[in-house]
Structure 1
Amino acid sequence: MRKPKDFDSELKALADKAKAIKERRVRQLGELVAATGADALDADLLAGALLHAAAMKDAATKEGWRKAGAAFFQGKVRQPAPRPDQQPEGALPLQGGAAPH
């Protein structure tokens, strides 16, 4: 006679795996935001831009964004978007610790 399956433990294992995959996805999205320089944007602005992109119906615009994203991942354009208030790499802020505006 065959031993019955332990469905509860299998379900728990699947739930744990799904949770780990979701956590990895969230972490990767955060890394993507940082790698593109979008972490410098205000959260409301970033959310608005993402909402606009998700609602975009124009196929040509989406294709242009897709090509720019593919180039970014292929290393052709690995530099994040320029930030006007960003310190040059390795530079220290002025006295008082505040960055110039």
Structure 2
Amino acid sequence: MRKPRDFDAELKALEDKARELKARKVQQLGELVIATGADSLSAEELAGALVALGETKDAGKREAWAKRGTAFFQRQSRRSASAPDRDTGGAQTQPGGGQSPSSGTGAA
């Protein structure tokens, strides 16, 4: 006879995983805001800019923004690739960990 599946335990595990993924996404978005320098904006300014971006239907503008974002990430990846030569990887991790509380206060 087959062992019955514990659907409640499986559902709880999936919910925990979803919660973990959502928390990671929020943290990464906060890190992105900080990395781009957008943390100097007020929450209202940042929200307004994001709303405008979301409402923009002009494909040319969106493509230009995407190219600019790609260039930003390429610069970042080059910097982080050369950073271990100068610093330890732990030094890079610390600012990310220290940024989470500041993102929380910036959002409040």
Cα distance in 2, alignment partners of residues 39 and 75 from structure 1:
19
TM-score normalized by structure 1? 0.74
TM-score normalized by structure 2? 0.69
Q: Does 1:26 align with 2:26?
A: yes
> Equivalences for 1:4-19 in 2 at 5 Å?
4-19=4-19
Cα-Cα RMSD: 1.3
1:82 maps to what in 2?
A: none
1:53 maps to what in 2?
A: 53
Structure 2, unpaired ranges of 5+:
79-108
Whichever structure has more helix as a proportion of its residues is 2
Letter of the 2:17 counterpart: K
Alignment coverage as a number of residue pairs: 77
> Equivalences for 1:1-101 in 2 at 5 Å?
1-75=1-75
Runs of 4+ in structure 1 deviating by more than 6 angstroms, as ranges, are: none
Cα distance in 2, alignment partners of residues 27 and 10 from structure 1:
26
Letter of the 2:21 counterpart: I
CA deviation vs aligned residue, 1:39-59 (integer Å, no higher than 9, x gap): 000110110000000000000
CA deviation vs aligned residue, 1:24-82 (integer Å, no higher than 9, x gap): 00000000000000000011011000000000000000000000001101117x8xxxx
Q: Relative contact order (C-alpha < 8 Å, sep 6+): which is higher?
A: 2
Cα distance in 2, alignment partners of residues 13 and 75 from structure 1:
38
2:104 maps to what in 1?
A: none
Q: What SS does the aligned partner of 2:57 have?
A: coil
Question: Percent of pairs identical after alignment?
Answer: 62
Q: What SS does the aligned partner of 2:75 have?
A: coil
Deviation at 1:14, TM superposition (A): 0.2
